[in-house]
């Protein structure tokens, strides 16, 4: 099946059957790389300055940007990207193309080449088992357009490109699982990764699913607090903020001030996200006024820890 569109639509398609033998070899390499790397590493890539690496993607309900959190192997989905997501160059002028990928958690994606099919692991397929990629970008802007609404995980297994044991590579029987990195990538004419948008997905063994597994998306971690409460601390008076909050990733979270600084006497709790303390009065007291600082939260994912940052302003009154 070919996914039709305008001049910016699919420039090639490949079924999981066609790429099966290559994909199996790639999976072996991916698992070895994952064990050694321990992270979705992008070091070593040489993208242009405007490239987006490890951007945020989501598995979404077809035809919408509403994230899906889980589903059966035959549940259709699309991939939602940030608005106006684009490759660093377009197809017509720069030779860039869009590919999909599916690699075990911890794979060094910078070591994957994209020429008709990823050199390591697998990719997204539609309900007929057709691999998504390489696909042309929008002319001039490099924008990623016409993302299909009929992706499914089931054909990876039912079409023979992937065995269930490969997909669920950890544990066995009812407890077999596999955590993978998936998303869309832009590659240049040499097949080198330039941009990518990523999300983790966990596959779980299921005795009732027709293909033997279900899936759960692991959302990216995000800071959900938008402003400090209370927003003002007073010199000589104890201050305690409401706890900063985050969502996505794997809890518990760790918090740290990574840019700027709090007024002397206040500190951010690493485990609870609460700013507390007393700014002492006297000659050494910091000057009143606004203090701008950036906080970074890190999740508890075992292999590929995720981070997110947000900037806050705390007013110091005398």
182-225: per-residue pLDDT in tens? 999 999 999 999 999 999 999 999 999 999 999 999 887 889 99
Question: 289, 315 in Cβ contact below 8 A?
Answer: yes
What pLDDT does residue 193 have? 96
Q: What is the mean pLDDT of residues 119-136?
A: 96
Residue 25 has pLDDT above 80, yes or no: no
Nearest 10 degrees: Cα torsion 177, 115, 143, 13? -80
pTM metric for this prediction:
0.69
Question: 148, 21 in Cβ contact below 8 A?
Answer: no
Residue 181's alpha-carbon distances to 123, 152, 254, in angstroms, are 10, 15, 23
Phi, psi of 110 (to 5 degrees): -65, -20
What pLDDT does residue 305 have? 77
Provide CB contacts within 8 A for 283, sequence distance 6+. none
146-177: per-residue pLDDT in tens? 999 999 999 999 987 899 999 999 999 999 99
Please, is 125 exposed, middle or buried when counting C-beta atoms within 10 Å of its C-beta (0-12, 13-18, 19+)?
Answer: buried
Classify the C-alpha dihedral 90-92-95-96 as positive or negative: positive
Instruction: List domains and CATH numbers for the chain.
Output: 13-218 (no CATH), 222-317 (2.60.40.10)
């Amino acid at each position: 099946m070919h996914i039709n569109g305008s001049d910016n639509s699919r420039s090639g398609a490949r079924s999981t059957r066609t790429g099966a033998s290559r994909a199996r070899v790639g999976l072996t390499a991916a698992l070895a790389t994952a064990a050694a790397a321990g992270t979705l590493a992008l070091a070593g890539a040489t993208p242009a300055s405007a490239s987006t690496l490890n951007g945020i993607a989501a598995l979404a309900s077809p035809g919408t940007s509403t994230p899906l959190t889980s589903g059966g192997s035959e549940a259709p989905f699309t991939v939602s990207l940030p608005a106006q997501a684009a490759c660093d160059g377009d197809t017509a002028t720069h030779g860039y193309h869009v590919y999909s990928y599916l690699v075990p958690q911890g794979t060094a994606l910078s070591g994957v080449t994209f020429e008709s099919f990823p050199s390591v692991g697998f990719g997204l397929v539609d309900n007929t088992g057709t691999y998504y990629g390489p696909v042309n970008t929008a002319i001039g802007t490099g924008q990623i357009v016409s993302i299909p609404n009929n992706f499914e995980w089931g054909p990876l297994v039912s079409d023979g490109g992937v065995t269930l044991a490969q997909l669920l590579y950890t544990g066995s029987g009812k407890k077999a699982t596999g955590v993978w990195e998936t998303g869309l990538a832009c590659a240049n004419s040499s097949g080198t990764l330039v941009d990518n948008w990523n999300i983790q997905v966990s596959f779980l063994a299921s005795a009732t699913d027709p293909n033997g597994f279900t899936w759960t998306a692991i959302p990216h971690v995000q800071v959900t607090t938008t402003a400090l409460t209370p927003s003002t601390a007073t010199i000589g008076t104890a201050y305690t903020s409401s706890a900063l909050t985050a969502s996505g990733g794997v809890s518990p979270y760790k918090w740290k001030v990574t840019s700027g600084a709090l007024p002397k006497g206040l500190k951010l709790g690493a485990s609870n996200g609460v700013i507390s303390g007393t700014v002492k009065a006297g000659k050494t007291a910091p000057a009143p006024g606004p203090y701008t600082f950036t906080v970074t939260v890190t999740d508890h994912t075992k292999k590929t820890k995720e981070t997110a940052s947000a900037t806050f302003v705390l007013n110091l009154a005398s």
